[in-house]
Amino acid sequence: MRFILDAGPALNFLAVGQQNCLIQLASSVSAQLCVPEQVATEIAAVAAESRFERSGAARRWVTLSASRYLSVLDDNVSENPALASELSLVAGAPAASRVRDRRDLGEDMVIAHGMVLARQGHAVYLLIEDGDGRRRAQDAKVRLRRLGGSGQLNLLSTRGVLEKANPAWFTGEETWRTVYRRMRAFDDGLPPLP
């Protein structure tokens, strides 16, 4: 089982020091946290930007990426025909040209890697927050169902992860609601809580 993270949600957890929620949620279902190489590059670059400068996200990313809790998935489409095929389907463009356009490439790689693993029979959870990325992940999910097989592709949101979290997983005396509200300071795409 794999939890594949997109850059935005991963940065949200890192910025507020709650990456332990991701580690514990994955561990609770015997899953591995993963990021595609493109996402790892995006996280490192964005964590160094001024918006995250004082949050500690960059330092936490270095620690997490060097830990046993996270693995980086190889994005080399020229050596992985299954990944190239899935990326082409997700992006609606040939994989070789898609990897040259870095805009939203991380999301496409999250979905493509998820599909490859699901088609191999794995249960895969994708953590994507962006609306268009979520729509493309839903399309991939429908395609996987049509193809049949034993694998699963599941879609999670930041709020969904926080709501599933055991309160003991939070660092400090926080609730999922207080963590989510703090995350909104770093990500204006997170909708407000009712």
Asked if 3 and 22 count as a contact pair (C-beta separation under 8 A), the reply is yes
Whether 173 shows a pLDDT value over 90: the answer reads no
Residue 170 tokens read as 């939070």
- Condensed to tens digits (0 to 9), the pLDDT of residues 98-131 reads 888 878 899 999 999 999 999 999 999 999 998 8
Q: What is the rounded distance in angstroms from the CA atom of residue 41 to the CA atom of residue 64?
A: 14
- Domain ranges across the chain: 2-183
The pLDDT value recorded for residue 101 is: 82
Q: Model-level pTM? A: 0.94
Assign residue 80 a region (left: φ > 0; alpha: ψ between -120 and 50; beta: otherwise): beta
Q: What is the rounded distance in angstroms from the CA atom of residue 182 to the CA atom of residue 176?
A: 10
Superfamily of domain 2-183: 5'-nuclease (3.40.50.1010)
User: Is the sign of the CA dihedral 32, 37, 41, 43 positive or negative?
Assistant: negative
Whether 171 shows a pLDDT value over 90: the answer reads no
Residues in CB range of 108: below 8 A, 6 or more apart: 87, 90, 91, 98, 136
Q: What is the rounded distance in angstroms from the CA atom of residue 84 to the CA atom of residue 77?
A: 5
Q: Summarize the confidence of residues 46-58 as an average pLDDT.
A: 92
